[in-house]
Amino acid sequence: MRNTSSNRNIVFLGTSLPRECGIATFTQDLLDQFEHIQGFNKPRIIAINNNETYSYQEQVMREIDQHNLSAYIDTADFLNSSDVDLLVIQHEFGIYGGESGEYLIPFVERLRIPYIVIFHTVLTKPSAKQRHIMNRIAKLSVKVVTMAQSTVKDLISIYGIDATKVTFIHHGVPDVTTDTRAELKEQYGYADRKILSTFGFLSPGKGIEYSIEAMRGVVKQHPECLYIISGKTHPVVKQETGEVYRHRLLDLVKEYDLNHNVLFIDKLLTQKEIIQSLVISDIYMTPYLGKDQAVSGTLAYGVGYGRVIISTPYRYAEEMLAEGRGLLANFRDSASLEACILQLLNNPAEVKEMENRTLELGKTMLWSEVAKTYATLFQEKITISQLTNRSVI
Distance (Å) of CA 366 to CA 134, 138, 159, 179, 330 = 28, 27, 29, 18, 29
CATH topology of 10-172+366-389 equal to that of 181-365? yes
Which is nearest to 168 in space by CA: 154, 178, 182, 188?
Answer: 154
pLDDT tens digits, residue range 130-139? Answer: 999 999 999 9
Tens of pLDDT along the chain (393 residues) come to: 444 458 999 999 999 999 999 999 999 999 999 988 999 999 999 999 998 899 999 999 999 999 999 999 999 999 999 999 999 999 999 999 999 999 999 999 999 999 999 999 999 999 999 999 999 999 999 999 999 999 999 999 999 999 999 999 999 999 999 999 999 999 999 999 999 999 999 999 999 999 999 999 999 999 999 999 999 999 889 989 999 999 999 999 999 999 999 999 999 899 999 999 999 999 999 999 999 888 999 999 999 999 999 999 999 999 999 999 999 999 999 999 999 999 999 999 999 999 999 999 999 999 999 999 999 999 999 999 888 765 433
Level-2 CATH architecture, domain 181-365: 3-Layer(aba) Sandwich (3.40)
pLDDT tens digits, residue range 135-191? Answer: 999 999 999 999 999 999 999 999 999 999 999 999 999 999 999 999 999 999 999
Global pTM?
0.91
Q: Where do the structural domains in the chain lie, given as residue ranges?
A: 10-172+366-389, 181-365
User: What is the distance between the alpha carbons of residues 179 and 28, in angstroms, rounded to a whole number?
Assistant: 24
User: What is 10-172+366-389's CATH topology?
Assistant: Rossmann fold (3.40.50)
Answer yes or no: are the C-beta atoms of 112 and 80 closer than 8 Å: yes
Q: Alpha helix (H) ranges present in the chain?
A: 22-33, 69-80, 104-110, 128-140, 152-157, 181-188, 208-221, 235-241, 244-255, 271-279, 297-304, 315-320, 334-345, 348-362, 367-389
Residues 6+ apart with CB under 8 A from 253: 212, 259, 262
User: What is the distance between the alpha carbons of residues 313 and 329, in angstroms, rounded to a whole number?
Assistant: 7
